[in-house]
Each structure stands twice: as structure tokens, then as C-alpha cells.
């Protein structure tokens, strides 16, 4: 499904250039669950953002189902993201003025999908937050916010789910229940790539990638 060829990413600052990734080659097959590990600053988020078409690589090619995504124009690049990718952001990025239900419904509205209720309810249920549907995100616990962010990422039925430290702020019991949700998604045949610092979390994925100084050491 995914093939990265010799991917590099340089962030150009005023005085310094940061070589966040270099020479990254990677293939991910449909239905895999992959953990990305590495120390802080090693390039994990940059890799995830490139996979999620949030960031353009400086060099190299990114093939998704055979199409080189890096060659798409702006409009098609956005279209590609909307069609194929869902993100669980590290800091959730929920909208506090909207209810949990409305947050989860948002990706369906953005895609112009008319039949929404059934889907929203399905993923609220799967993530165990049906009872919180009417609440605002700012009165939820960390684990509940995380569930809401995951439900929102799942609702649009994209093939690829990307999650940046989805258990980073959670205690071990909540971590376990979040991982069960990911295992459930994975068993539905969807492809999951998640970043984690936690070896226990990584070991529950099908494959572990390790990044050191912007280089992939599998
Ligand atoms: P990780 O997620 O493993 O902590 P990142 O991918 O966030 O690593 O960052 C890799 C390197 O790139 C770090 O040195 C970081 O400071 C730098 N970096 C990340 N994002 C940016 C950015 N938008 N602008 C400049 N430098 C960045
Ligand atoms: Mg990061």
C-alpha cells in the first residue's frame, strides 16, 4: 500500500537547517499494524506527517497504491489526504465549542456525507464513549479525550490511521483499553501506524520500526 523511497526532510530555519529525516526507505502493506519508536527529536512525527500528507518531503518519493503522492498538485494532495488518511493528533486537537458527538461527526460533514448518525454512534460505541456524546471535550479526562480523538479518526472509514503517541498521557489501565480499540480497528483490516515511547505498546503491534537521528533502523 505504501512505499517510501529515499525520503529526506530538511526544515530550513533562519540560521540552521534541521535534517529531520534522511534516506528513509519503507514499505507498509495493507492491514499491517506498525509501531514507530525512537528518542525525542529523532524524526518520528516528521515521518508520520509525511505518511499522512501533512508535510511534503524535501526529497524522495512516496508511493500510495502506486501513485507518487509527492508529485500531486496542491488540490490533489489535499484530496488524497481526505480520501485515505485519518490522524489521531498527539494533543487531540478536539474542538471545545462542540460536543463529543459533533467532534466525531466533523470528518463526515467535511466529506459531505449525508448519512452520519449511524456511523457516529458506531464509533462512539466502539471507543466506549456513547455516554459522553453530549459533553464538551474540556470536561473529559485525558483517556476520554483520547477515545474521542480516536472515534473521530475512525468515522470516515479511511484505509490508513496514523496516531502520534496515542497512549502518551495515559495510565496503564487506560493505555490497555485504548490499545484494545486499536487492535479492534486492526482486526477490521485497517492499516495502523502509531508512534510510541512505550515498549509494551510497541510489542502489541505487528512490526516495530526504530528511528535514530532521522534514519530508519527496523
Ligand atoms: P520526534 O517526533 O521524534 O520527537 P520530530 O519529527 O518532531 O521528532 O523532529 C525531528 C527534528 O526536526 C527535531 O530536531 C525537531 O526539532 C525538528 N523539527 C520538527 N518539526 C520542525 C519544524 N516544523 N520546523 C523546524 N524544525 C522542526
Ligand atoms: Mg513527536
pLDDT in tens, 153-202: 999 999 999 999 998 878 888 889 889 989 988 898 999 999 998 999 99
What is residue 194's predicted lDDT score, i.e. its pLDDT?
96
Q: Which residues are CB-contacts of 27 (< 8 A; sequence separation ≥ 6)? A: 2, 3, 4
Distance 136 CA to ligand 1 centre (A): 31
Distance 88 CA to ligand 1 centre (A): 18
Distance 165 CA to ligand 2 centre (A): 8
What is residue 174's predicted lDDT score, i.e. its pLDDT?
86
What is residue 34's predicted lDDT score, i.e. its pLDDT?
97
Q: For residue 210, give the ligand nearest its CA.
A: 1
The span from the CA of 57 to the CA of 69, in Å, is 10
Q: Rg of the Cα trace of the chain? A: 17
Q: For residue 214, give the ligand nearest its CA.
A: 1
Nearest CA to ligand 1 atom 23: 11
The span from the CA of 100 to the CA of 122, in Å, is 13
The conformation of residue 161, written as its DSSP 8-state character, comes to: E
Q: Which of 41, 89, 91 to mutate to test the pocket of ligand 1 (most atoms within 8 A of CB)?
A: 41
Q: Which residue, among 20, 22, 1, 24, has the nearest Cα to 12 in the 3D structure? A: 20
What is residue 169's predicted lDDT score, i.e. its pLDDT?
78
- Low-confidence stretches of the chain (pLDDT < 70) are none
Atom of ligand 1 nearest to the CA of 13: 25
Amino acid at each position: 500500500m505504501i512505499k517510501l523511497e529515499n525520503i529526506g526532510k530538511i526544515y530550513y530555519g533562519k540560521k540552521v537547517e534541521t535534517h529531520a529525516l534522511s534516506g528513509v526507505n519503507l514499505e507498509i502493506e495493507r492491514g499491517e499494524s506498525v509501531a514507530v519508536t525512537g528518542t525525542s527529536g529523532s524524526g518520528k512525527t516528521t515521518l508520520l506527517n509525511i505518511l499522512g500528507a501533512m508535510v511534503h518531503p524535501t526529497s524522495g518519493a512516496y508511493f500510495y497504491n502506486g501513485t507518487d503522492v509527492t508529485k500531486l498538485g496542491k488540490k490533489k494532495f489535499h484530496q488524497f489526504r481526505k480520501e485515505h488518511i485519518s490522524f489521531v493528533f498527539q494533543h487531540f486537537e478536539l474542538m471545545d465549542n462542540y460536543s463529543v458527538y459533533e467532534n466525531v461527526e466533523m470528518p463526515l460533514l467535511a466529506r459531505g456525507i449525508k448519512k452520519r448518525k449511524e456511523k457516529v454512534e458506531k464509533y462512539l460505541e466502539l471507543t466506549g464513549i456513547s455516554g459522553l456524546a453530549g459533553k464538551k471535550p474540556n470536561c473529559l479526562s485525558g483517556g476520554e479525550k483520547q477515545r474521542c480523538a480516536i472515534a473521530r479518526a475512525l468515522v470516515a472509514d479511511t484505509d490508513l490511521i496514523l496516531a502520534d503517541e496515542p497512549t502518551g498521557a495515559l495510565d496503564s489501565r487506560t493505555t490497555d483499553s485504548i490499545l484494545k480499540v486499536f487492535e479492534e480497528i486492526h482486526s477490521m483490516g485497517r492499516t495502523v501506524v502509531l508512534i510510541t515511547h512505550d515498549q509494551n505498546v510497541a510489542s502489541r503491534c505487528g512490526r516495530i520500526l526504530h528511528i535514530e537521528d532521522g534514519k530508519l533502523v527496523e
